[in-house]
Amino acid sequence: MFVELAGDGLGSGIRVPCLVFRGATSGPVFGITCALHGNELNGIPVVHALFAGLEVAAVRGTVVAAVALNVPGVHMKQRGFIDGTDLNRIMPGNPRGNVAQVYAHRILERIVDGFDYLLDLHTASFGRTNSLYVRADLTNPTTAALAYLQRSEIVVHNRASDTTLRGAVMGKGIPAITVEIGNPQVWQERYIDKGLDGLRAALGYAGVTEPPVFDACPAPVVCRSSSWMYTDRGGLLQVHPKLRELVVQGDVVATVRTAFGDVIREYRAPRDGIVVGRSVDPVGQTGARILHLGVIAEPGDQLLRRDQVELVRSA
């Protein structure tokens, strides 16, 4: 089915493709959103595979997936909306605003507000790569459980901004997490398979399906916070550590050179941490992203760990 959220300049509707699977018995509405940024596509085949495996008799409630929220962005192969606006920075939108604000408002009003749970699927953007990681509030037992069920490499504690989709949804009392599945404008089978396992586990946790049984996987690295490093000098950028690599405060993590190969700046890790994401674009103007550094949680941090949350709910 399609859900119309706006109209283009010739009077045609801008319609979001949605998959809806209703089970044989009543239960929660479990929501999944993909491609809020138009170049972030890895979530789409994850959703296709999930729905292909659902059976009416085995589902309690409803599973809804917005296959591509940012329809214009997908067509234009760009992160932003028609006008370049980042839809994940203007939630909950404005019903009387510009086209991007109205579109954002209607995403909530016409699709997401009916959910009982939300998994918002993303990837890195152009010029960057991501690990498979989750952003979630790890002080909330429900969102912490959903995060640890994703079988990700890294989980970052992050209380979402009110202007993001996750933040707007959490503000309505709907548990939500963000799952970052690899890289932009590609389908990556390794991440897609893991993403599917995570969605199936989340459906089991919510009581929509029976909890699946998986082989044991290593516990993710838990970060109490994370932030990007940026350049203050333009040039040809080389980022040294790999994804998921541990770095120590003071390590040289990036080098900037002139067009003639002369080193004009070295960047060092401001603290110990793990590389959550990194730039792969060598053309780095002033203010270019270098790497996304996660600060690993310590025992004294008031965050729920995997062994402290109920990953399988009792009936």
Whether residue 267 contacts residue 279, with contact meaning beta carbons closer than 8 Å, is answered with no
With 80 as the cut, is the pLDDT of residue 312 above it?
no
With 90 as the cut, is the pLDDT of residue 4 above it?
yes
User: How far from the centroid of its chain's Cα atoms is residue 162's Cα?
Assistant: 16
Q: What is the CATH number of domain 2-219?
A: 3.40.630.10
Cα–Cα distance, 273 to 70 (Å, whole number): 33
Domain extents in the chain: 2-219, 225-296
Cα–Cα distance, 166 to 174 (Å, whole number): 9
pLDDT, residue 191, reads: 87
Whether residue 253 contacts residue 246, with contact meaning beta carbons closer than 8 Å, is answered with no
Q: Is the peptide bond before 92 cis (omega within 30 degrees of 0)?
A: yes
With 70 as the cut, is the pLDDT of residue 118 above it?
yes
- Give the residue among 59, 73, 164, 76 at the shortest CA–CA distance from 120: 164
131: amino acid identity, one letter: S
Cα–Cα distance, 109 to 111 (Å, whole number): 6
Dihedral over Cα of 181, 184, 185, 188: its sign: negative
Question: Which tokens in the block code for residue 135?
Answer: 């952003």
Dihedral over Cα of 281, 286, 288, 291: its sign: positive
- Give the residue among 243, 270, 239, 279 at the shortest CA–CA distance from 255: 239
Quick one: pLDDT band at residue 109, thresholds 50, 70, 90? very high
pLDDT, residue 9, reads: 87
With 90 as the cut, is the pLDDT of residue 214 above it?
no
Question: Which tokens in the block code for residue 1?
Answer: 């089915």
Whether residue 164 contacts residue 183, with contact meaning beta carbons closer than 8 Å, is answered with no
Over range 17-30, report the average pLDDT: 98
User: How far from the centroid of its chain's Cα atoms is residue 305's Cα?
Assistant: 20
Percent of the chain beyond pLDDT 90?
Answer: 86
Q: Residues 269-311: pLDDT tens digits?
A: 999 999 999 999 999 999 999 999 999 999 889 999 988 887 7
Over range 37-62, report the average pLDDT: 96
Give this prediction's pTM.
0.94
With 80 as the cut, is the pLDDT of residue 196 above it?
yes
* Per-residue DSSP letter, 231: -
Q: Residues 225-281: pLDDT tens digits?
A: 999 999 999 999 999 999 999 999 999 999 999 999 999 999 999 999 999 999 999
Residue 251 CA neighbour count, 13 Å, CB half = 17
- Give the residue among 48, 89, 80, 93 at the shortest CA–CA distance from 67: 48
With 70 as the cut, is the pLDDT of residue 30 above it?
yes
pLDDT, residue 228, reads: 97
User: How far from the centroid of its chain's Cα atoms is residue 57's Cα?
Assistant: 30
pLDDT, residue 313, reads: 66
Element (H, E) at 191: helix 189-206
Residue 80 CA neighbour count, 13 Å, CB half = 10
CATH class of 225-296: mainly beta
